[in-house]
A and B are shown apart, each in its own frame.
Chain A
Amino acid sequence: MNEPLRGVIVSHADLAEALVSAVRAISGVDGALQAVSNEGCSPSALAARIEAAIGKGPALLFVDLPGGSCLTSAVRSARGRSELAVVTGVNLAMLLDFVFHRDLSPAEAARRAADAGGRAIRTPAA
């Protein structure tokens, strides 16, 4: 059996850590996600943090915004590496889905995360 995917959340400030905590509280799953903050980081320092969080891989990199320092560092890390993929716009719904579906390829997991995250964005009548 292949190594299950690791999720690495790359965010501004403390968002990634808070998402890891929320996923743990809701799902009871621990150890599937790693938090990386860009706080105080140059691009090279952030890249080093991401690499440390990826470990041996494979991994899916969840980035908060579809642009900016978190994205540029994540995409540079993943460039040319089939054991890594990137998805942006991380939200709690996509992470909760991910921790129970870590047996996919990184590319498949990225598409699934985008679908799950997108489905969670609604405008319910109040």
Chain B
Amino acid sequence: MSLALIRLDDRLIHGQVVVGWGQPLNVAFIVLVDDEVRESVWEQDLYRMGVPPQIEVVFASIAEAAHLLADWEADPRTGILLAGDIDTMSALVGSGRIRRVNIGGIHHRAGRSERLRYVYLTDEEATKLRRLASNGVEVTAQDVPTARAVPIGEFL
């Protein structure tokens, strides 16, 4: 089954990921791609607290993830890959192995405007997402599996 969900979410590991997606997908591993978290054992312990012990959590830098994507895709278990920001996801897409990106949550901050209830973007961020789509990546927004996957063309 490999990576069933490749998700952009500024909260990284949280309830929607572990319960909302993890339960129906029967997820066996979660890959968290973030250069800062990769360097902090304390942060890693914090994120692990939200994950049942039967689910493996892998922490990777962007460079490590680009190198290991093929292995995760070949894994017979079902996994979820998470990135917390658009630049990280764009770098991973640049490896050429990612065809679909789920936007699960990019929340409000100064300079961003609402595109969906759970998606706020600056104009520059919107341009970066459009660039992913124009490069052949299927970009949709969907916070939980029971919601509709909204194509990027409907909110950008």
Chain B contact surface mostly: loop
Chain A residues near B47 (CB, 8 Å)?
67, 72
A22 at interface by CB-CB < 8 Å: no
Q: How many Å from the CB of B58 to the closest CB on chain A?
A: 17
Number of A-B contacts (CB under 8 A): 50
Known: A40-B117, A40-B118. A68 touches B107 (CB 8 A): no
A34 at interface by CB-CB < 8 Å: no
**Do B117 and A69 touch (CB < 8 A)?**
no
Chain A residues near B117 (CB, 8 Å)?
40
**B50 touches which one: A40, A41, A44, A67 (CB < 8 A)?**
A67
**Do B50 and A43 touch (CB < 8 A)?**
no
A75 at interface by CB-CB < 8 Å: yes
**Do B15 and A45 touch (CB < 8 A)?**
no
**Do A68 and B109 touch (CB < 8 A)?**
no
Interface flags for A72-102 (1: CB within 8 Å of B; 0: not) read 1001100100000000000000000000000
Residue of B nearest to A65 (CB): B15
**Do B46 and A72 touch (CB < 8 A)?**
yes
Chain B residues near A40 (CB, 8 Å)?
107-108, 117-118
Known: A67-B49, A71-B49. A42 touches B108 (CB 8 A): yes
**Do B10 and A43 touch (CB < 8 A)?**
yes
Task: State which residues 81-123 of B face A: CB under 8 Å.
Answer: 106-109, 117-118
Give chain B's interface residues, CB within 8 Å of chain A. Answer: 10-11, 13-15, 18, 42, 46-51, 106-109, 117-118
A-B pairs with beta carbons under 8 Å apart, 22 shown = A40-B107, A40-B108, A40-B118, A42-B11, A42-B106, A42-B109, A43-B11, A44-B109, A45-B109, A65-B15, A65-B50, A66-B50, A67-B13, A67-B14, A67-B18, A67-B47, A67-B50, A68-B11, A68-B13, A68-B50, A72-B47, A72-B50
For the A-B complex with A41-B107, A71-B50, A75-B46 known, give 8 more contacts whose Cβ atoms are closer than 8 Å.
A42-B11, A42-B107, A45-B109, A65-B15, A67-B47, A68-B15, A69-B14, A71-B46
